């Protein structure tokens, strides 16, 4: 028997259900990754993430070669060309079955359906990216949860009852092979600030659990602190699995924190948010097609001012915490989660620009860009998504900065124009700058937050008026 493992967003040997099952019955295994550079461009994924993909594929190729598993990088432009490519490949290699882990975007799901129709061999697909399989948590009426809190309660109940399963890496199937040399077409931006490979991801996970897990809940919202896990790039490409995250929590604490208030629960809760958005994307495929979760919000009248959008993208809004966050994203390809909420609220509720513009900009810049989490976060901020909070929640960028960067350390790092501004003035620096540095060059506020907030609320109130009989 010859089995083919098709790697996608699951670039790891350990806890990989498709790889584990393909090797479980002693069959000879080969592996491929199908690169579609034109599809990558159409999806708007970031060049820095593509470089991170390249480097992690290289580590995967080396790991497979050490196990005697041949690995081939196949290339074709678009997803619609993949079925014919794999049909030809499997036939030529005498493959008896294809193994893969599920991908959840609508384009990926349509591709996989076409592959199954094109191949004359069985295609076996597994859940490799969630602790609880997509769509398996439902209300008593059989519907997907639309609000996070009851979903989280059900998710924790499933974990208490069933636990989680951590799969080992496959055994050697022969002598070590020369590893494939991985090169990807298209634009690449250096990602060396992030070490690639399973071993690097595991070390970062272990270090985070040892050094930050117990105090994550109190420290996570302060971007000047190195208090978050920074594991999202590895989770986005599947170099690390959520089950491995649970195992690391349990190894550090001696238990899994399944109740609010326990050490480590705050970070576990972030993993549940990740799963919530992934379950939503499966059950509501319109989320993959640029549609709002709340259909009535499609009628929102966004301003979509391109000049103001450009100021937001470049970190030139005149609101220090927003500008620092956007410049950090531009230079590093990553942004702290609290800052993502602040800048998303500012774009949608202060500048009144369609959340889809921000969603696309993030995907084009983030090293951890991932459809479900990015879409979920943007719709949460915009008030169009699966969230029980009222639509009139509008972050005040000044008070957010005062609360979460009180001394301005993060701001000064990324906005050098404000390096000399004292902490008392750092979050509203314009009067101080006018007195002490009249030639400073820092832009004035692009909007007045108070008036912009009222306008945002009025936009949503107008939707209620449209619905009234």
Mean predicted lDDT score pLDDT of the chain:
96
Q: Which two tokens stand for residue 238?
A: 């599947």
Longest dimension (CA), the chain: 78
Distance CA 137, CA 155 (A): 7
Burial of 408 (0-12, 13-18, 19+ CB in 10 A): buried
Q: What tens digit of pLDDT does each residue of 80-109 get? A: 999 999 999 999 999 999 999 999 999 999
What are the residues facing 6 on neighbouring strands? 32, 100
Check if the beta carbon of residue 404 is closer than 8 Å to that of residue 221.
yes
**Which residue, 138, 88, 97, is CA-closest to 118?**
88
In the chain, CATH 3.40.50.620 covers: 2-126
Q: Is the pLDDT of residue 469 over 90?
A: no
Check if the beta carbon of residue 281 is closer than 8 Å to that of residue 103.
no
Count of alpha carbons within 13 Å of 357, Cβ hemisphere only?
20
Angle CA 144–281–46, to nearest 5:
160
Buried b / exposed e over 67-82, threshold 16 CB at 10 Å, is: bbbbbebeebbebebb
Identified catalytic residue from 302, 402, 417, 432: 302
Sign of CA dihedral 5, 8, 11, 16: negative
Check if the beta carbon of residue 214 is closer than 8 Å to that of residue 263.
yes
Check if the beta carbon of residue 48 is closer than 8 Å to that of residue 365.
yes
- Span 452-464, mean pLDDT? 93
CATH 1.25.40.80 fits 130-166+197-283, yes or no: yes
The whole-angstrom distance between residue 214's C-alpha and the CA centroid of its chain comes to 23
- Span 417-441, mean pLDDT? 95
108 an active-site residue? no
378 an active-site residue? yes
Fold exhibited by the domain 2-126? Rossmann fold (3.40.50)
CB-CB neighbours of 15 under 10 Å: 23
Distance CA 203, CA 208 (A): 9
Identified catalytic residue from 355, 357, 361, 414: 355
CB-CB neighbours of 381 under 10 Å: 26
In the chain, CATH 1.25.40.80 covers: 130-166+197-283
Distance CA 132, CA 276 (A): 10
Identified catalytic residue from 185, 270, 402, 417: 270
Q: Which two tokens stand for residue 97?
A: 């079955």
211 an active-site residue? no
Identified catalytic residue from 38, 250, 273, 402: 273
Query: Which stretches within 184-319 are classed as H helix?
Result: 198-211, 216-219, 232-237, 242-253, 265-283, 306-314
Distance CA 271, CA 191 (A): 24
- For 8, phi then psi, to 5°, come to -135, -110
What are the residues facing 7 on neighbouring strands? 33
- Span 76-83, mean pLDDT? 98
- DSSP string for residues in 287-303: GGGT--SSGGGGG----
Instruction: Name the pLDDT band for 26 (thresholds 50, 70, 90).
Output: confident
Instruction: Name the pLDDT band for 467 (thresholds 50, 70, 90).
Output: low
Which homologous superfamily is 295-467 in? DNA Cyclobutane Dipyrimidine Photolyase, subunit A, domain 3 (1.10.579.10)
Q: What tens digit of pLDDT does each residue of 43-52 get? A: 999 999 999 9
Identified catalytic residue from 337, 402, 417, 432: 337
Q: What pLDDT is recorded for position 135?
A: 87
Identified catalytic residue from 40, 155, 378, 414: 378
Buried b / exposed e over 209-225, threshold 16 CB at 10 Å, is: beebbbebbeebbbbbb
Check if the beta carbon of residue 33 is closer than 8 Å to that of residue 73.
yes
**Residues 6 or more apart in contact with residue 316 via CB below 8 angstroms:** 323, 443, 446
**Residues 6 or more apart in contact with residue 95 via CB below 8 angstroms:** 2, 3, 4, 30, 89, 121
273 an active-site residue? yes
Q: Is the pLDDT of residue 434 over 60?
A: yes
Q: What tens digit of pLDDT does each residue of 203-228 get? A: 999 999 999 999 999 999 999 999 99
Helix H, strand E, coil C: the string for 68-93 is: CCCEEEEECCCHHHHHHHHHHHHHHH
**Which residue, 450, 460, 454, 458, is CA-closest to 319?**
450
Q: What is the pTM of this model?
A: 0.97
DSSP code for 63: H
267 an active-site residue? no
Distance CA 316, CA 334 (A): 18
What are the residues facing 32 on neighbouring strands? 6, 72
Q: What tens digit of pLDDT does each residue of 355-409 get? A: 999 999 999 999 999 999 999 999 999 999 997 667 778 999 999 999 999 999 9
- Start-to-end C-alpha separation, the chain: 65
């Amino acid at each position: 028997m010859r089995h083919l493992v098709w790697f996608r967003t699951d670039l790891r040997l350990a806890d990989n259900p498709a790889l584990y099952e393909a090797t479980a019955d002693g069959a000879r295994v080969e592996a491929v990754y199908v690169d579609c550079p034109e599809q990558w461009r159409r999806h708007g994924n970031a060049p820095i993430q593509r470089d991170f993909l390249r480097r992690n594929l290289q580590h995967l190729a080396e790991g497979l070669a050490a196990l005697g598993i041949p690995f081939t990088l196949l290339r074709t432009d678009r997803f619609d060309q993949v079925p014919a490519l794999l049909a030809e490949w499997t036939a030529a290699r005498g493959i008896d079955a294809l193994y893969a882990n599920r991908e959840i975007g609508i384009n990926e799901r349509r591709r996989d359906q076409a592959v199954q129709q094109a191949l004359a061999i069985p295609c076996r697909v597994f859940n490799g990216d969630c602790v609880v399989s997509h769509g398996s948590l439902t209300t008593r009426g059989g519907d997907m949860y639309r609000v996070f809190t009851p979903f989280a309660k059900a998710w924790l109940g499933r974990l208490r009852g069933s636990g989680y399963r951590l799969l080992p890496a496959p055994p050697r199937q022969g002598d070590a092979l020369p590893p494939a040399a991985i090169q990807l077409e298209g634009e690449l931006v250096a990602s060396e600030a992030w070490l690639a490979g399973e071993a690097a991801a595991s070390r970062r996970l272990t270090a985070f659990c040892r050094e930050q897990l117990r105090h994550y809940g109190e420290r996570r919202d302060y971007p000047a602190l190195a208090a978050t896990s920074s594991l999202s790039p590895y989770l986005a490409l599947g170099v690390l699995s959520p089950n491995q995250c649970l195992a690391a929590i349990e190894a550090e604490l001696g238990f899994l924190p399944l109740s609010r208030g326990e050490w480590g629960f705050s970070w576990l809760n972030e993993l549940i948010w990740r799963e919530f958005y992934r379950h939503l994307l499966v059950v509501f495929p319109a989320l993959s097609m640029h549609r709002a979760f709340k259909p009535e919000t499609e009628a929102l009248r966004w301003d979509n001012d391109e000049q103001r959008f450009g100021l937001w993208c470049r970190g030139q809004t005149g609101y220090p915490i927003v500008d620092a966050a956007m410049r950090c994203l531009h230079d590093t390809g990553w942004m702290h989660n609290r800052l993502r909420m602040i800048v998303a609220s500012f774009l949608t509720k202060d500048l009144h620009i369609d959340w889809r513009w921000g969603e696309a900009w993030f995907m084009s810049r983030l090293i951890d860009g991932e459809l479900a989490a990015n879409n979920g976060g943007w719709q949460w901020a915009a008030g169009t998504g699966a969230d029980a909070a009222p639509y009139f929640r509008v972050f005040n960028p000044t008070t957010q900065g005062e609360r979460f960067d009180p001394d301005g350390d993060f701001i000064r790092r990324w906005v050098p124009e404000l390096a000399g501004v004292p902490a008392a003035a750092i979050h509203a620096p314009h009067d101080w700058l006018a007195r002490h540095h009249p030639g400073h060059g820092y832009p004035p506020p692009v909007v007045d937050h108070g008036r912009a907030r009222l306008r945002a609320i009025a936009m949503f109130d107008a939707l209620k008026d449209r619905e009234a009989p």
